[in-house]
Amino acid sequence: MRLAYLFFLLFLLTSCGSSSDKDLVYSTSSKKTLEEFRKGWVQIMDEGRYGAAEDSYRNALEHDPDFLIGKSVLARLTLDLEERLEFEKEIFAKREEVQGDERLVLDVYQGLVRYTNLRDQGAPQAGRVLQEAIQTAEKNLKYIVHKYPKETYLKAEYIEFLHSRYGPRQTLDSLATLLLPEQKKNPFLMGVSASLHAELDEFDIAIKQAEELEKIIKDSTQPKPYAVYAYIYLQKKDLQLAKINADKANKLDPLNLDASRLKERIDILIANQARSK
């Protein structure tokens, strides 16, 4: 009996930690919903087109209004606080309908939606809720990305949470070990790598990676490369080049939160610099 128990325990540990070539299965029977949902990830992460991604997520929900993962992603994207509060309420009420590994992802997104709503309402507990959400994200997404290594965009989000907790050097180390060969040319992850090198003052590497990213995208209407350049030049303290690129990214998609926040930050720094002269 003891040997049988030990064998069973070993089996559980091995199966829980093993990786799979399969994609994470989402609880929707609508192929169109999944198609629009996945298209939205490409648009927001790889292209930096937040407006187009929002449309895709809304299209996904038109085909399956009960797709809570899609609703939670849209809730993180919409700028309408009232709509976001309604999404949060619905996700909380129906979350028990989502089970298994999909639920681990939903718990992460639910926590982030709750934080965003509290922040926008000026609630004092927003900081605490954010830290709780980051801890949940690190734990849950770590499990997910090791079990489903082909899930590029969940892996990308996991990398972002690692960065928020451990800084650029450790995150670059994680990138080197986590990425599959085909993921190393993913535009979002290339942009992350370039930004991390910029934070470490490794500007030659950062700019070279941004140039490679621009060549891979081959589309001057996509905001992504310009947002990456803007961040690199901001870290380099070249505010004029940072502003040129942030303005261009923002003009291509005013809903791109990365670009708009960068633009605001750069404009404040330039204004402060002018006042100090």
222 domain residue, yes or no: yes
61 domain residue, yes or no: no
Q: What is the pLDDT of residue 275?
A: 85
Pick the last residue of a domain from 138, 153, 182: 182
43 domain residue, yes or no: no
Q: Which two tokens stand for residue 10?
A: 């070993």
3 domain residue, yes or no: no
Q: What is the pLDDT of residue 19?
A: 54
Q: What is the pLDDT of residue 258?
A: 87
Give how far Cα 35 sits from Cα of 20, 25, 26, 151, 204, Å.
Answer: 22, 13, 12, 15, 38
93 lies in which domain range? 66-182
Q: Return d(Cα 156, Cα 165) in angstroms, integer.
A: 15
Burial label, 273 (beta-carbon count in 10 A; 0-12, 13-18, 19+)? exposed
- Judgement on whether residues 99 and 73 belong to the same structural domain of the protein: yes
- Judgement on whether residues 157 and 260 belong to the same structural domain of the protein: no
- Judgement on whether residues 165 and 86 belong to the same structural domain of the protein: yes
pTM reported for the whole predicted model: 0.85
- Judgement on whether residues 259 and 198 belong to the same structural domain of the protein: yes
155 domain residue, yes or no: yes
241 domain residue, yes or no: yes
- Judgement on whether residues 155 and 212 belong to the same structural domain of the protein: no
Give how far Cα 134 sits from Cα of 123, 191, 231, 243, Å.
Answer: 18, 21, 23, 30
Whether the pLDDT of residue 2 is over 50: the answer is no
Per-residue model confidence as pLDDT tens digits over 208-264: 999 999 999 988 899 999 999 999 999 999 999 999 999 999 999 999 988 999 999
Whether the pLDDT of residue 203 is over 60: the answer is yes
Pick the last residue of a domain from 129, 155, 182: 182
Q: Return d(Cα 247, Cα 229) in angstroms, integer.
A: 11
Q: Which two tokens stand for residue 261?
A: 């926040």
Q: Return d(Cα 227, Cα 44) in angstroms, integer.
A: 12
51 domain residue, yes or no: no
Q: What is the pLDDT of residue 20?
A: 57
Name the nearest CA neighbour of 242 among 275, 276, 273.
Answer: 273
- Judgement on whether residues 70 and 170 belong to the same structural domain of the protein: yes
Per-residue model confidence as pLDDT tens digits over 12-70: 343 444 455 688 999 999 999 999 999 999 999 999 999 999 999 999 999 999 999 99
Q: What is the pLDDT of residue 21?
A: 66
- Judgement on whether residues 167 and 196 belong to the same structural domain of the protein: no
Pick the last residue of a domain from 166, 182, 198: 182
197 domain residue, yes or no: yes
- Judgement on whether residues 76 and 118 belong to the same structural domain of the protein: yes
- Judgement on whether residues 161 and 115 belong to the same structural domain of the protein: yes
CATH number for position 222: 1.25.40.10
Between 17-26, 67-76, 266-275, the lowest mean confidence (pLDDT) is in 17-26
Per-residue model confidence as pLDDT tens digits over 83-135: 999 999 999 999 999 999 999 999 999 999 999 999 999 999 999 999 999 99
Give the chain's end-to-end CA distance (angstroms, integer).
80
Q: How many domains does the chain have?
A: 2
- Judgement on whether residues 151 and 203 belong to the same structural domain of the protein: no
- Judgement on whether residues 145 and 225 belong to the same structural domain of the protein: no
**DSSP H stretches of helix in the chain:** 2-17, 31-41, 50-63, 68-77, 81-94, 100-120, 126-147, 152-178, 187-199, 203-217, 224-235, 239-252, 257-276
Per-residue model confidence as pLDDT tens digits over 121-147: 999 999 999 999 999 999 999 999 999
- Judgement on whether residues 148 and 75 belong to the same structural domain of the protein: yes
